[in-house]
């Protein structure tokens, strides 16, 4: 007869599986391998993600023997908020300790229409974009799917405490405080593909965090093979950090363009499978005297022809690792007008959190400032 608590001996394992990032099927595989019935995996999945359990002791409908042994061999580790910085516009920048000797940053941006959380997928970044502070850090390591997902839970718990809505009961507050999740923080999400894919699956699963796929967006600097793979394996919105409409300028700003030039990138995007009514978002950081001219805007209109698209214009946010300058408001307006006059959906993104280094391109630190 199979033992109901046949969890493997912890001495035989050197690393405890982190259950935070496990898909439902992954958890079911783990428990079946441990000699438990498959439905234990769904119970764990719901407790961790839908009911916000941070320990096995809280899972009161699981047998006590199972909970004790599971705590010895499985992990439900949590990020720890090491520092927060509150902007005058309500944006909150979180610096989180991973417990592995490094830190990641996330940004919460509340507004009247949505409450967005920008999450990180790597410690640092290897892409080296000239205008981005994270790129100056270089790459430390990939985050696990659990570490990506846990940024949402950690921020939501902090927000509940800030707003004095703690109350009783195990249900996590993510749906109340975070409506949209964007993978636009530290790192290149598609360079950490499997963890990004698995994190999106947990975020959007109805038995987990339950976010609508329309409210989860993953950004990339333009990794062409991974973009096509993303279209096959992930259901979430795609954003592309473009920042130039010609190869010479884009290669100067974004080294990835030398490997995957605009022709290859645009060809992949034209083949990208979009759900009805969905568009690809193009992020375009405006840099004075570099890519902000009317001529640049006309080039942008031309290369985006035939791609269902939305353009987010981002005025450069200054930081110590780059010498670029923000364009004048007049230049921004002129650029924007060229796009809208050609019926391209374009918006000038509101600069959020700039006074606490939480704006686009400002995440990370060249050195530890304590």
Please identify every residue annotated as catalytic: 105, 360
- Specify the pairing of strand 280-286 against strand 309-315: parallel
Q: In the chain, what's the furthest Cα-to-Cα distance?
A: 77
Q: Which residue has the tokens 């979009």?
A: 274
Contact 120, 107 (CB under 8 A): no
352-356 LR contacts (CB < 8 Å, sep 24+): 352/87, 352/89, 352/91, 352/107, 352/109, 353/87, 353/89, 353/91, 353/92, 353/93, 353/107, 353/109, 354/87, 354/317, 355/87, 355/88, 355/89, 356/85, 356/86, 356/87, 356/91, 356/93
Contact 205, 152 (CB under 8 A): no
| Separation between Cα atoms, residue 153 and residue 280, nearest integer Å | 27
Contact 70, 8 (CB under 8 A): no
Phi-psi region of 224 (alpha: psi -120 to 50; beta: other; left: phi over 0): alpha
Distance of CA 138 to the CA centre of its chain: 18
Contact 199, 153 (CB under 8 A): no
Of 292, 217, 285, the C-alpha closest to 254 is: 285
> Phi/psi of residue 251, each to 5°?
-65, -30
Integer CA distances (angstroms), 337 to 143, 194, 311, in order: 40, 39, 12
Phi-psi region of 272 (alpha: psi -120 to 50; beta: other; left: phi over 0): beta
Phi-psi region of 81 (alpha: psi -120 to 50; beta: other; left: phi over 0): beta
């Amino acid at each position: 007869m199979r033992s109901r608590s046949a969890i493997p001996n912890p001495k035989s394992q050197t690393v405890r599986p982190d259950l935070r990032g496990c898909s439902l099927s992954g958890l079911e595989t783990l428990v079946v391998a441990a000699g438990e019935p498959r439905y234990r995996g769904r119970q764990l999945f719901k407790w961790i993600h839908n009911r916000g359990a941070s320990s096995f002791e809280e899972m009161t409908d699981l047998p006590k023997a199972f909970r004790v042994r599971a705590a010895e061999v499985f992990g439900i580790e949590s990020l720890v908020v090491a520092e927060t910085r509150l902007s005058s516009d309500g944006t909150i920048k979180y610096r989180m300790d991973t417990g592995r000797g490094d830190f990641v940053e996330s940004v919460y941006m509340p507004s009247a229409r949505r409450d967005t959380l920008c999450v990180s997928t790597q410690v640092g970044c290897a892409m080296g974009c000239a205008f981005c502070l994270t790129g100056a850090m270089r790459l430390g390591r990939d985050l696990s799917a659990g570490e990506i997902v846990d940024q949402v839970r950690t921020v939501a718990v902090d927000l509940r405490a800030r707003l004095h809505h703690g109350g009783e009961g195990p249900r996590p507050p993510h749906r109340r405080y975070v409506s949209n999740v964007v993978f636009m923080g530290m790192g290149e999400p598609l360079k950490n593909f499997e963890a990004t894919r698995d994190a999106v699956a947990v975020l959007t699963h109805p038995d987990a965090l339950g976010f609508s796929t329309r409210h989860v967006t993953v950004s990339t600097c333009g990794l062409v093979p991974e973009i096509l793979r993303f279209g096959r394996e992930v259901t979430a919105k795609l954003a592309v950090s473009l920042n130039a409409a010609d190869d010479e300028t884009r290669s100067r700003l974004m080294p990835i363009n030398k490997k995957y030039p605009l022709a290859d990138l645009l060809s992949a995007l034209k083949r990208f499978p979009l759900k009805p009514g969905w568009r690809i978002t193009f992020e375009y950081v405006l840099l004075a005297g570099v890519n902000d001219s009317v001529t640049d805007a006309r080039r942008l209109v031309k290369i985006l022809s035939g791609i269902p698209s939305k353009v987010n214009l981002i005025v450069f946010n200054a930081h110590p690792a780059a010498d670029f300058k923000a364009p004048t408001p007049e230049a921004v307006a002129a650029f924007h007008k060229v796009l809208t006059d050609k019926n391209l959906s374009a918006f000038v993104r509101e600069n959020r959190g700039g006074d606490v280094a939480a704006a686009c391109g400002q995440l990370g630190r060249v050195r530890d400032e304590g």
